[in-house]
Amino acid sequence: MRRIVERAGPLALARTGATWEILWEGTFLMSSECRASERALGALAAGRTLVAGLGMGFTLRAALDAPRVSAVDVIEIAQAVIDWNRGPLAPLAGFPLLDPRVRLRCADVREVLDLVPAPYDAVLIDVDNGPSWVARPENAALYGEAGVRRLRAAVCDGGTLAIWSAQPEPALLAGLASCFGSVESRSVAVTVAGRAAEDVIVVAR
């Protein structure tokens, strides 16, 4: 089956039949066949929610479908990913960027965290494959001691922080425990390229 690839710098959008993939410098990041963990992340949305990492729109779609969600601010660092979600990827998640509750910014979430005007009811982070496998070296600071404090400041009392990861992250759980009342790691069964696997969502409240 023919594989079609559109490149935007280090990013690439590839399609084989009905399956879409996003790659970074040739490394697989996500597939349209694997949606369960992104939807599980989005389901944790509440009230005012910040979603960091647009991906293919599955997390955003689930956030918009969650009960009593009034507004979702989406931060995506790559303009190409935004353009693809407005173009060929838009139907996959039901055109979530067209929802009037969505505000989208092309920016680095680390910079946005310093400018949050008021804490969110939920902050959902999916910008890396986890602290052990960051997409950009600069992102490592997001999960360190200072980064955790910034994340805590962005979440209102009684709110939720959730971070997507491709593997368990015990060090992250320990770091979050210093700022949040409860922290847990949730495994989500997924299928990647026909193989069973588990993604992880770290949830702090």
How far is 187 from 168, CA to CA, in rounded Å?
Answer: 8
- Give strand pairing partners of 20: 15
How far is 36 from 201, CA to CA, in rounded Å?
Answer: 11
Tell me the two tokens of residue 11.
């990013």
pLDDT digits (tens, 9 = 90+) for 131-170: 988 878 888 999 999 999 999 999 999 999 999 998 999 9
Predicted local distance difference test score (pLDDT) of residue 178: 93
Predicted local distance difference test score (pLDDT) of residue 33: 85
What is the sign, positive or negative, of the torsion defined by CA atoms of 124, 128, 129, 130?
negative
- The count of domains in the chain is 1
Residues in the chain predicted with pLDDT less than 70, given as ranges, are 1-2, 193
26 located within any domain: no
Domain extent, residue 175, equals 34-204
CATH code for the domain of 138: 3.40.50.150
Predicted local distance difference test score (pLDDT) of residue 2: 65
Residue 93, SS3 per DSSP:
helix
Pairing of strands 183-192, 27-31: unpaired
